[in-house]
Amino acid sequence: MEYWIYTTDACNLNCSFCSNSTIRTGKTQQCSAEEIAGFVLQDMKKEKHPKNGVVFYGGEPLLNQEFIKDVIRKTKFGKLEYLSFTNGTMLDNIDPFLLKKLDALFISIDGEHRVHDKFRGPGTFEKIIQNMFAVKNRFEGKTIARLCHIPGNSIYSSVLGVVNWFDNVHWQIENSPSTITNPKDCLSSYSDDLDLLIGYWTNHLHEGIVKKIIPFQAIVSSLLFEKENHSFRCGAGSKTVAIDTGGECFICDDLIGREKFHIGSVQQGINHEKLRACGKNIFCNGCKIRKICGGRCLRAWQEFPKKMQFYCSTTKMLANKLKEKIPEIKELIKEGIISKQELDNSLAEFTEAIP
């Protein structure tokens, strides 16, 4: 299970594409750390999942560090992984306790200095990089560069702009109902960029280096290990519980406030049958890559289904390009240049995996 806890609705940035801006109230988590911890431990015990994690989300989670510390302390016997999202601008003031206890930091950064500052604010790119290097040697967990890709920009340049500074890189194509201008041109440039990026990745594989580019690893692992994804890979409708600042629970952090996806509360517990029922993927019947993709995003299917044609095109494009590389990758494994295990990235479970 994954327990996504809104530590606060407040944020010190005002990113133009933020999907949470509509629910931003400035409130911090109203439930006590003890209430949250009790709920998480009790639900874990009932569900008996083999792997469990707590994800601190927002807003900017690091605006409420004392709460994060208290939750970690009160769940320390639960065999949990602890992860936090952050826009990176407050890493220079992060508590040493969190640097020791967090297993991963998802840092929002968009790869290219110009693109990042345009959408997240002037000077933020440089500040994030400075902060990240300031704490990296003291941080015992993994860093993940979390990119928001705006169609029309270069995903190749964006990934290469950060891949050598972070332990892992993941991107998601902007998830919103906004209209894409010239979708054919965007798909064409995205295809060209993927060719360059996959070439960069496979060239390193030949040198025995597995660059931790999560979308590539997630899809290649599915193909190599014959993993079938019958539900959304992000965990919506299967393993994700998103807890808002009032303690109400939903099946996805992007669907907070939607009554249809409300499954209970910290105080009353949650209805796991409803979690699974309202998160069922009924949209992708007949799709040839359904078992690889899992459906990409429940919120997108529900709230802007017309745009899913574009998203599906990008996903099929990526999956097919990587599928062509499988014989080459298998040969590298056979020769002992890389191992199957290196291609499987456990942090993909805490992402959408599919951009």
Of the pLDDT bands very low, low, confident and very high (cuts 50, 70, 90), residue 26 is: low
Helices in 95-182 by DSSP H: which ranges?
96-101, 113-120, 124-136, 155-160
Mean pLDDT value across residues 137-165 = 93
CA–CA separation, 40 vs 59, rounded Å? 21
What pLDDT, on a 0 to 100 scale, did the predictor assign at position 20?
60
Q: Is the pLDDT of residue 179 over 60?
A: yes
Q: Cα–Cα distance between 218 and 195 in angstroms, integer?
A: 17
pLDDT in tens, 268-280: 999 999 999 988 8
Q: What is the pTM of this model?
A: 0.93
**pLDDT tens digit sequence for 74-89:** 998 888 999 999 989 9
**Alpha-carbon distances, residue 244 vs 83, 232, 241, 250, 287 (angstroms):** 17, 21, 10, 8, 34
Q: In this structure, which topology does domain 1-140+239-278 adopt according to CATH?
A: TIM Barrel (3.20.20)
Would you place residue 226 in the very low, low, confident or very high pLDDT band (cuts 50, 70, 90)?
Answer: confident
User: Where are the chain's structural domains?
Assistant: 1-140+239-278, 180-234+280-355
> What pLDDT is attached to residue 62?
95
Higher pLDDT, 285 or 29: 285
Confidence of residue 256 (pLDDT cuts 50, 70, 90): very high
